[in-house]
């Protein structure tokens, strides 16, 4: 994330330098329709959830992030100033990956402002059950206790992205700065971006009832 869009580029560039070791990532998925049609389908379907229980909206949102967003965006290259609105066209910074995709799904958020702010600002604005800790061991232990089929935003020292948890474990879905790898989805225990980090802040999107109620209601 552009932690302080103008004041910290040198620090982030230093943090973004990695070696050539490959990371283990989840196998790519393949979308079946064009991205514009996908966004239209989301707008149509989420409207049908307006009077449904929160659990249905949360489940639908989880599947969108865990499956569809990854399917469309995987492999889109990272760049410090990347802000493409089209997957696999141009480049995407970590903060913009989160806010652009939420905007594409129909969330009415301050997309640019949140992408350029420190990750704590985005997390406190969009998430509930905000938690912070030091070190990957404590972070992994915290995620182990969280419910399955849930989506979080995690803020790191100089980076941000989604954490998605399903029945097989917790994954980091993010635009990876290491080797300019771009959008990947990897187990949190196998992520060098997480392993190299000291401070973690995370908050739940799926548990935010007001956020999802406003989303399905078109607010």
Q: Per residue in 63-109, pLDDT tens?
A: 999 999 999 999 999 999 999 999 999 999 999 999 999 999 999 99
User: Which segments in the chain show pLDDT lower than 70?
Assistant: 1-29
The per-residue pLDDT for 2 is 42
Q: What is the pLDDT of residue 27?
A: 61
The pLDDT value given to residue 30: 81
Would you give the DSSP letter of residue 182?
A: E
User: Listing from the earlier edge strand, what are the strands of the sheet with 150-155?
Assistant: 128-134, 199-204, 150-155, 160-166, 169-176, 182-187
pTM of the predicted protein model? 0.88
Per-residue confidence (pLDDT) for residue 150, from 0 to 100:
99
């Amino acid at each position: 994330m552009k932690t302080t869009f103008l004041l910290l580029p040198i620090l982030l560039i230093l943090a973004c330098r990695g070696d050539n070791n490959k990371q283990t990532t989840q196998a790519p998925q393949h979308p079946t329709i064009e991205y514009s049609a996908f966004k239209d389908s989301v707008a149509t379907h989420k409207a049908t959830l307006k009077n449904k229980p929160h659990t249905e909206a949360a489940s639908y949102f989880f599947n969108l992030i865990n499956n569809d967003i990854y399917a469309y965006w995987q492999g889109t290259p990272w760049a410090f100033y990347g802000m493409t609105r089209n997957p696999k066209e141009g480049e995407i910074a970590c903060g913009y990956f989160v806010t652009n995709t939420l905007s594409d799904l129909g969330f009415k958020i301050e997309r640019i402002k949140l992408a350029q702010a420190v990750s704590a600002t985005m997390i406190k604005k969009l998430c509930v059950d905000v938690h912070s800790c030091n070190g990957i061991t404590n972070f992994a232990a915290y995620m182990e206790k969280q419910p399955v089929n849930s989506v979080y935003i995690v803020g790191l020292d100089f980076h941000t992205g989604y954490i998605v948890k399903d029945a097989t474990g917790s994954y980091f879905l993010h635009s990876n700065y290491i080797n300019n790898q771009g959008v990947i989805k990897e187990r949190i225990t196998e992520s060098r971006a997480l392993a190299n980090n000291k401070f973690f802040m995370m908050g739940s999107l799926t548990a935010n009832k007001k956020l999802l109620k406003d989303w399905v209601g078109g607010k």
